[in-house]
């Protein structure tokens, strides 16, 4: 069992740094760097990755914030101004993923880029970003799970519980290691896109059953509905010949 601890802020004199925000920022930086390095290895322009990273990050944060309406409709629909109070926290990973995908597709379309090759670079690096960012969730323990006797359970003040942030961080790092292996085997760009959609979608779907505090619709969390869509999209892409993807 993992003993209880909580690491929320770092104080440097008058400066206070929030651990969750620091880890998320570090995850974004590392994922962008890894994606640009892969782009260069694949004969693409790494500067383009850095260029669209700004817009993707913006779209991700906007989507992550807006998607909170689904999680707490009574709060945000009754008082929409609460959405502007970003300093109070409240972000959805799946909402951020949707926002990022929408912005990325718009960018590819406007710039007429080889979308699937660049998308492969993004999908390759995403698990690393998630793995690092979710360490922040684990350190502040903002996603307590159900009671458990599992060896990776955390001794919360009210009992040993699953920790969603820890599990998602581990999943991110393991998925990234798999992608590194596939990259060394010269996997095609669409492999990373399809694998991310299917594997992360499946893992997130089942892990959400362990969440102790979350809104549910028809017994499923909002993230689980997005997970289902991700898995279906991934399998759908498997049915599309690569030459058609490349040509589009």
Residues flagged as binding site: 134
Measure the CA–CA gap between 220 and 205, rounded to whole angstroms: 9
Q: Where is 204: in which H helix or E strand?
A: helix 201-207
Strand blocks (E) in the chain = 9-12, 15-18, 144-147, 154-156, 159-163
The answer to whether 4 and 140 have CB atoms below 8 angstroms apart is no
The answer to whether 137 and 167 have CB atoms below 8 angstroms apart is no
- Paired residues of 17 in beta bridges: 10
Contacts (Cβ under 8 Å, ≥6 apart) of 74? none
DSSP single-letter state for residue 42 = T
In angstroms, the Cα distances linking 133 to 150, 169, 173, 233, 248 are 23, 7, 11, 25, 33
Measure the CA–CA gap between 191 and 245, rounded to whole angstroms: 12
Characterise 137 by phi-psi region: left (phi > 0), alpha (psi -120 to 50), beta (else).
alpha
């Amino acid at each position: 069992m993992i003993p209880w601890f909580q690491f929320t802020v770092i104080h440097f004199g008058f400066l206070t740094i929030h651990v969750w925000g620091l880890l998320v920022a570090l995850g974004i930086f590392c994922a962008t760097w890894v994606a640009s390095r892969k782009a260069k290895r694949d004969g693409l322009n790494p500067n383009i990755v850095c260029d669209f990273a700004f817009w993707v990050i913006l779209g991700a944060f906007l989507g992550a914030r807006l998607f909170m309406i689904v999680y707490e409709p009574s709060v945000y629909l009754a008082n929409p101004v609460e959405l502007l109070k970003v300093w109070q926290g409240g972000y959805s990973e799946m909402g951020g993923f949707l926002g990022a995908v929408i912005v990325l597709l718009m960018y590819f379309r406007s710039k007429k880029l080889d979308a699937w090759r660049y998308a492969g670079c993004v999908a390759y690096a995403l698990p690393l970003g998630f793995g690092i960012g979710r360490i922040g969730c684990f350190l502040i323990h903002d996603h307590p799970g159900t009671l458990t006797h599992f060896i990776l359970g955390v001794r919360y003040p009210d009992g040993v519980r699953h920790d969603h942030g820890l599990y998602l961080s581990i999943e991110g790092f393991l998925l990234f290691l798999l992608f590194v292996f596939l990259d060394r085997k010269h996997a095609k760009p669409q492999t990373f896109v399809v694998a991310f959609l299917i594997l992360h979608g499946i893992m997130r779907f089942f892990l959400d059953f362990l969440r102790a505090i979350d809104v549910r619709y028809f017994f499923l969390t909002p993230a689980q509905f997005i997970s289902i869509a991700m898995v279906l999209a991934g399998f759908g892409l498997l049915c599309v010949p690569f030459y058609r993807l490349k040509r589009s």
